[in-house]
Amino acid sequence: MPGTAAEPIHDPADAAKETAAPARGKAGEARGKAAASGTSSAAARLAKLGLRRPVDLVLHLPMRYEDETTLAPIAEAIHRAGLGLPAQVEGEVISNEVTFRPRRQLVVKIADDSGELTLRFLNFYGNQTKQMAEGVRLRVRGEVRGGFFGAEMVHPTVRPVVPGEALPDRLTPVYPSTAGIPQAYLRKAIGGTLSRTPMPETLPRAVLDGPLARLHLRPLADCLRLLHAPSPQESEAALADRSHPAWQRIKFDELLAQQISLRRAHAARREKTAPTMPRREGGLLTRFLAALPFRLTGAQQRVVEEIAADMTRPHPMHRLLQGDVGSGKTIVAALAACQAIDAGYQAALMAPTEILAEQHYRKLSAWLEPLGVPVAWLAGSQKARDKREAAARVESGQAQLVIGTHALIQDTVRFAKLGLSVVDEQHRFGVAQRLALRGKAGAADTPDSAATAAETVPHQLMMSATPIPRTLAMTYYADLDVSVIDELPPGRTPIVTRLVNDERRDEVIGRIHHAAAEGRQVYWVCPLIEESEALQLQTAVETYETLVAALPDLRVGLVHGRLPPAEKAAVMDDFSANRMQVLVATTVIEVGVDVPNASLMVIEHAERFGLAQLHQLRGRVGRGSAESVCLLMYQAPLSPTARERLATMRETTDGFEIARRDLEIRGPGEFLGARQSGEAMLRFADLQTDAWLVEYAQEAAELMLARYPEAVEAHLSRWLGGREHYLKA
Ligand code: ADP
Ligand code: MG
């Protein structure tokens, strides 16, 4: 069979083969059999890569290519050695020996009319020695290097050929793979499947010629054939950076599948029932608004209306409230809670850190308990008895508002009648945690009503100060309605941000004095030490001691993650009440903490923090009317990206602008954090380079859902198979 003759003896693209080489000879044969024998073991191997259906194989696209379409004379390949370019040569084996110095290795020499070349293998199987016996003609691809014994290739790709055997006329694909699945095996499996699997067009003609006309999309089947086996004439750069028209088609189809399924998830949610919560005149909501010490900003009023309207409908709200740090989201959440309570339901508010949750608890109970609303507190650090007691009040329905951390979503916590769940700083939670709170609707339902209860879900409000750039919002959050608070409460003076070299620490301490003399308060944030929590703690303690010594007339406090919760709360209490002027803290104060009298923020080793984190930290000041200052202390020299981050912080306080630059510096994957982006389904499209395609995909998705239900099904099943559930959160 000519097919078998072309199987490579050694292919470095199979990294796994190198590492899995202990049983020489036998392993090789066993592998050969596995590839040739029963389809079930073949299927099992491919399933390891998630390749179950023929279409999965067809959509398993190369990461890169190798050009095996040309041959160079050995002398020329040697001449170009050192340029770092791979070359392909062909020659007859003139010697073959296993040497043991400096370690066991196989050294094969080949020759053509122009010269000789050494091939060196450090890992090899017994039968490879035979396959490269003297007189065998080999086609060899690799990089020629000037070795100790002259020009050589180490671990080249090698295959035996008959003299005059034709060269491939296409580039050779290299596929994403995993241990034990050689490239040759994948190429054969994919190549075969590709020729047997028709890939009919799923996009209706009217869509291709209508909203998508400007994209000039090529037929998908052609694009797949091209990408699996491009001709060497195709632009290598366009294939590599995936800007080639064939890649664009693939990315478009992938984005389209994503948009369609996000829209369907949205529609499915609308099918579900949620309690309707009409707004009652003279209810809690009205009394609360009347008691507020300030007036809502226009932006707050607008988002309150949007949320209130959602909650009057019999379908679950699924809304993201975005507003920059300090824009006043908490009050909006409190108003929504009032509406739920007015309608006879419970509301829950979950925050990612205990400090923040506790602050919410104190603030909201101060606002609402005087109006007769019982509030319960649930946190991990609570004494078992208190926790049980709180849980009992939640389960009996006695507690109308429940505030806490992740403790809220534990199995032991059951709500009598949860109608609204609010998740603060939602980006800090994983998808599963957010879903868990949503699933807590009516624990008091009896088993017989379980069927209907499953369909009834609470309204959900998510809040975040981390603005999501538009392109990300359109894709990852297409299933969310978004409200934006784009205005800060009046009377705030913009924060002035300065970069200060570490060496000017004394001046910084002088500024603390100055601020305290004016009755203001100060945060001092300790450096982030990612490698070691213990070290971070130690630094915090040292900084605290230094500041205590340097500022004998001021009260300095320390708060960090290891502090027992009661002490943590006591310190925060002292700081909130201005009994303490300086708070030395680790990043535990990063989100949410609200002490309006604090006006100076010092961040030590600011170069170690990410942009989003710096922005959040800086947002702890500038919450009152006094002019606030943020000093970013850094240690020179700065890396280029650190410099860029700090410059951004100095130039702008606009959270959206900062998020945009952050996205630019880090890319969307990191921006969202693995928990949110990891499960997202984009394999090929890149939201940074391909964002422009998203709008087309949205338009096409809408049109297809409205008019071409069969095309929708075909397209989704091709691209998603069973993976649709990833998008439901
Ligand atoms: P964030 O949006 O960062 O969660 P908060 O809800 O903590 O902001 O609000 C920041 C501060 O602004 C709080 O002290 C809050 O009481 C205050 N605040 C909120 N809304 C207004 C308003 N309309 N007028 C004046 N102060 C307000
Ligand atoms: Mg907040």
What percent of the chain has a predicted confidence (pLDDT) above 90? 52
Contact 473, 288 (CB under 8 A): no
Q: How confident is the model at residue 69 (pLDDT cuts 50, 70, 90)?
A: very high
Domain finish residue from 485, 519, 552: 485
Give the pLDDT mean for 426-440.
Answer: 65
Give the pLDDT mean for 472-481.
Answer: 68
* 593 and 565, same domain (yes or no): yes
Q: Considering its fold, how many domains does the chain have in total?
A: 3
* 329 and 464, same domain (yes or no): yes
Higher pLDDT, 666 or 720: 720
* 480 and 502, same domain (yes or no): no
Contact 207, 705 (CB under 8 A): no
**SS3 annotation, 243-270:** CCHHHHHHHHHHHHHHHHHHHHHHHHHH
CA of 132 to the centre of ligand 1 (A): 76
Provide the domain limits for residue 418.
284-485
Which CATH number does the domain housing residue 630 bear? 3.40.50.300
* 101 and 155, same domain (yes or no): yes
Backbone phi and psi for residue 501, each to the nearest 5 degrees, phi listed first:
-65, 140
- The rounded distance, in Å, linking the Cα atoms of 293 and 631 is 31
* Tokens representing residue 712 in the block: 């929708």
* 366 and 454, same domain (yes or no): yes
Cβ(419) – ligand 1 distance below 6 Å: no
Residue 203 domain flag = no
Give the pLDDT mean for 294-299.
Answer: 95
Cβ(484) – ligand 1 distance below 6 Å: no
- The rounded distance, in Å, linking the Cα atoms of 194 and 189 is 9
- 469 forms beta bridges with none
Higher pLDDT, 433 or 648: 648
CA of 375 to the centre of ligand 1 (A): 21
Higher pLDDT, 515 or 626: 515
Domain finish residue from 596, 618, 652: 652
Residue 638 burial (CB < 10 Å; 0-12/13-18/19+)?
middle
The crossing angle, in degrees rounded to 10, of helices 354-368 and 284-291 is 100
Among residues 681, 675, 724, which one has the least CA distance to residue 431? 675
Cβ(297) – ligand 1 distance below 6 Å: yes
CA of 424 to the centre of ligand 2 (A): 7
Give the SS3 label for residue 47.
helix
pLDDT of residue 558: 94
Q: How confident is the model at residue 28 (pLDDT cuts 50, 70, 90)?
A: very low
pLDDT of residue 268: 80
* CA-angle at 638, arms to 632 and 643, nearest 5°: 65
Residue 401 in this model has a pLDDT that exceeds 70 = yes
pLDDT tens, 145-172? 876 667 899 889 899 999 888 999 999 9
Instruction: Collect all residues with Cβ–Cβ distance below 8 Å to 165 and sequence separation of at least 6.
Output: 139
Cβ(322) – ligand 1 distance below 6 Å: no
Q: How confident is the model at residue 451 (pLDDT cuts 50, 70, 90)?
A: very low
Nearest CA to ligand 1 atom 23: 296
Q: How confident is the model at residue 279 (pLDDT cuts 50, 70, 90)?
A: confident
Give the pLDDT mean for 419-443.
Answer: 71
**Is this prediction's pTM over 0.75?**
no
- The rounded distance, in Å, linking the Cα atoms of 482 and 637 is 41
Query: Within 10 A of 252 (CB to CB), how many other CB atoms are there?
Result: 24
* 460 and 499, same domain (yes or no): no
pLDDT tens, 49-62? 888 899 999 999 99
Choose the most confident range, by mean pLDDT, from 118-122, 342-346, 586-590.
Answer: 342-346
* Tokens representing residue 223 in the block: 């694009």
Among residues 238, 656, 716, 226, which one has the least CA distance to residue 473? 656
* 338 and 447, same domain (yes or no): yes
Residue 669 domain flag = no
